[in-house]
Amino acid sequence: MAQKVLLFCDPGIDDSLAIIYALLNPAIQLVGIVTSYGNVNQEQATQNVAYLLELAKRDNVVLIGGAKSPLSGEFTPFYPEIHGEEGLGPIRPPEMIKEELLNFDTVFNLIEEYGPELLIVDVGRMTSLAIAFNLAGPEIMNTVQGFYLMGGAFLVPGNVTAGAEANFYGDPLAAEIVTTKVERGVIYPLNVTNDAIVTPTIIDEIVATENNPFQPLMKAIFDYYYEAYQKLVPGIQGSPLHDVLTLFAITNPQAFKYIEKKVFIGLTEETLRGVSIADFRPRAEEEPEEQTVAIALELDYQEFIADFINVMTNKLPIIE
């Protein structure tokens, strides 16, 4: 049976490719998508998701309105130079918001409906998920199967500041609430997502199959994203698909090595904001009462790339 997933996201190019990956993967059943600010504003993120669902002819994935700003209420910058003005690189999605953008309490209805069959995946700023924890409390939230979180950078450079990764930096307090309240939580940080490099040659091979309606879009948004990454990381041969890797982990947990740690997140001062820290000293054993999460630290790249090509060349699955 396909894994039921409630996805929190902020599309964004790698978020969009992650949604496409999920829609093309018969082993994943997206039951809902919560759209929040992050790479673009929340309204634009919603429109982008509606466009992707329309391309897939999927009207059985509910769309839920998430946060428009971090918990602090401050403005955070968007990233048009990486994701494009509208979040889909050079593509402007048609004005076609799906009629029903459901209220946030739909999150709790889905948790009640699916309980331990539901996996929550967050590949954006963690504001909406933190609000869900604050509203419902950990007892209810932790009735789900678990939480996959894309964020952080442990003992490696950040991608927004020297030490911080974009999702944790965008709302560090939310990241702290989520990482300290989740049970069965797994973090996919830059340590592994920076390795999820997809090259233009691979995208060209996928697109040449003409197997599904996403492929022209895939090519356009990937090329934009790759051009941006070439400016960011001199000499890079492709682009890291952070959010796709997090979705890949759902059906391929064996492709990673994990370590259980308590996570701390910097909340103050620009240099520490969103910085993720865990105690990696060899002597450090977690106290049994400490709240830990699993952190993915190593990736089997060959498994990732083979699966990526396989899924992205699928025909659209028929979902009842």
296 binds ligand BDR (CB under 6 A): no
Residue 70: contacted member of Ca ion, ligand BDR, none (CB under 5 to 8 Å, by partner type): none
Shortest distance in whole angstroms from residue 169 CB to Ca ion: 12
DSSP output for the chain = -PEEEEEEE--SHHHHHHHHHHHH-TTEEEEEEEE-SSSS-HHHHHHHHHHHHHHTT--SSEEEE--SS-TT-------HHHH-TTSSTT----S---S-EE-TTHHHHHHHHHGGGEEEEE-S-SHHHHHHHHHH-HHHHTTSSEEEEE---SSS--SSSSSB-HHHHH-HHHHHHHHHH-SSEEEE-HHHHTT-EE-HHHHHHHHHT--STTHHHHHHHHHHHHHHHHHHSTT--SEE-HHHHHHHHHH-GGGEEEEEE--EE--SSTTTTTBEE----TT----TTS--EEEEEEE-HHHHHHHHHHHHTSPPP---
> Which residue of this chain has its Cβ atom nearest to ligand BDR in the complex?
166
- Residues 113-142 close enough to bind Ca ion by CB under 5 A: 123-124
- Residues 173-232 close enough to bind ligand BDR by CB under 6 A: none
150 binds ligand BDR (CB under 6 A): yes
Among 35, 127, 161, 167, binds ligand BDR (CB under 6 A): 167
Q: Which is nearer to ligand BDR, 142 or 186 (CB)?
A: 186
- Residues 75-94 close enough to bind ligand BDR by CB under 6 A: 79
The site string for ligand BDR over 100-129 (x = CB under 6 A, - otherwise) reads -----------------------xx-----
- Residues 300-319 close enough to bind ligand BDR by CB under 6 A: none
Shortest distance in whole angstroms from residue 37 CB to Ca ion: 11
Among 243, 247, 256, 294, binds ligand BDR (CB under 6 A): 243
Residue 165: contacted member of Ca ion, ligand BDR, none (CB under 5 to 8 Å, by partner type): ligand BDR
Q: Which is nearer to Ca ion, 123 or 244 (CB)?
A: 123
Q: Which stretch binds ligand BDR (CB under 6 A): 47-55, 97-105, 164-172, 201-209?
A: 164-172
279-285: long-range pairs with CB below 8 Å, 24+: 280/154, 280/155
Summarize as ranges the residues that interact with Ca ion (CB under 5 A).
Answer: 10, 12, 15, 123-124, 243
List interacting residues with ligand BDR (CB under 6 A): 12, 14-15, 39, 79, 123-124, 150, 159, 165-167, 242-243
